[in-house]
Structure 1
Amino acid sequence: MQTNQTTKTERNDTADQTARLARCAEALRRHGFEAVVTKDAQEAFERLRAAVEAEMPELVSFGDSMTMRDTGIVEWLRRDGRWRLLDGFDASMPRPERLEIRRQALLSDLFVTGINAVTEEGTLHWLDMVGNRIAPVAFGPRKVLLVAGRNKIVADRREAEERIRRIAAPQNIARHPGFRTPCAKTGVCMDCNSPDRICNTRMEMLRCHPAGRVLVVLIDEDRGL
């Protein structure tokens, strides 16, 4: 009996999550974004690849994102020779060179990255250290591809901010053991003034202009931070 009840609960949870993704995608479309829901990271990759091939850009770049990397799109972009890739995350390069490449990404034809939080109201939210991920999303590239797991979806803008402060920022710091911030020790944002602070530039995208410039690929899996 317990097993049957557990299975029923899991099915209900899955249905709720799927319905939430659908509501989120519809809200994004009302705000001018393209939005699709995919069942897993592999299907998300297929959507991203199709979008890149439809654009056939000359110059492509990306901003770091665990969710984006989970899809395999970065490896595919690095292998494919049909466009020039601005790779600002090549560990073999000195940091100043990597930063210069990220600056040049503003002039790319197509840009790919992730999102910190997506609301059911149809808005997108980020908090970045230097802004190289969010600046090209706001302006520059003619096409932007964004990817987010279902764990990034929240009800509204207030919950988006809370998610970033309590989950995304502290857990991202944990990925970089050399960073010395209060949240690295406590796991909670302390709104610090540390030189290693990664919470420096906040961006909200409330509408997409021009309509269709940004494609949001939602994944029906928990992915990334």
Structure 2
Amino acid sequence: MQELINTLENCGYKVHLAKDKNEAFEISKTYIKDGISVGLGGSTSVGQIGLLDYLVKNENITLYNQYEAGITMDENIERRRKGMLTDLYVTGTNTLTKDGKLVNADGSGNRVAAMIFGPKNVLVIVGKNKIVDTVEDGFKRIMEVAAVKNIDRMNSKAIEMGKEPRHNLDNIANKFSYIKADDKDRIILVLVDEELGF
């Protein structure tokens, strides 16, 4: 693991290693300063470590929460846009390669766009199950694991709300990217020695 951390730091990432989701939560909280603005990218991992609930309940930050129940689609889109110009963008990743590339697919593209440019800093929660050897392995994992599980999750939610399930690979994974850190320490990785997310 130390070799991976060294590689990631040499690529320009700021890297933290957490032994479990509780430690990942404590590390992540250190980046949530009073008065900052925070954007969100779709991430099961952020929820699993308890960070999403913490952000929602934090009255000392400006959170652009597109997941708030009851908001209109127009408001959802507006919050996603505002989230891309925040002090801190909080998200997960589909995969991270051992040579330092974040490999992702999005439906709307706000998450991958924010990773590339916009927010002052990006905090990425990475479970050990997301680490792969190559970019090709990353895209393979997206299509065979992450996208399939996300479709199942979204369809289950649609059925619970009495809606027809409509998600397929085309509308959940139609914007692909792989990126490497640009400005030194702009992208902060919290590597968690547990399986998280999809």
**Fold agreement, TM-score > 0.5:** yes
Alignment match of 1:204 (pick from 169, 178, 185): 178
The separation in 2 between residues aligned to 1:57 and 1:143, in whole angstroms, is: 15
Map 1:13-162 → 2, pairs under 5 A = 19=1, 22-53=2-33, 56-162=34-140
Give the equivalent residue in structure 2 for 1:179.
Answer: 166
CA deviation vs aligned residue, 1:175-198 (integer Å, no higher than 9, x gap): 1111243x6xxxxxxxxxx5xx21
RMSD of equivalent CA atoms: 1.4
Residue identity in the other structure for 1:93? I
Instruction: Tell me the TM-score normalized by structure 1.
Output: 0.80
* 2: CA distance, partners of 1:35 / 1:92: 36
**Residue in 2 that maps onto 1:188:** none
Amino acid at match of 2:118: G
Gap change, CA 1:57 and 1:159, over 3 Å in 2: farther
C-alpha offsets along residues 183-218 of structure 1, whole Å, 9 cap, x if unaligned?
6xxxxxxxxxx5xx2111111112x22100110001
Shift of 1:58: 2.6
Deviation at 1:109, TM superposition (A): 1.1
| Inter-CA distance 141–180: structure 2 relative to 1 (3 Å threshold) | closer
How many equivalent pairs are there?
189
Q: Structure 2 length normalisation: TM-score?
A: 0.90
Please say which structure displays the higher CA radius of gyration: 1
Q: In 2, Cα distance between the equivalents of 1:68 and 1:58?
A: 18
The gaps in structure 1 that reach 5 residues or longer are: 1-18, 184-193
What is the distance in 2 between the residues matched to 1:57 and 1:150?
A: 32
SS in 2 for 1:145: strand
The structure 2 residue matched to 1:213, chosen from 180, 186, 194, is 186
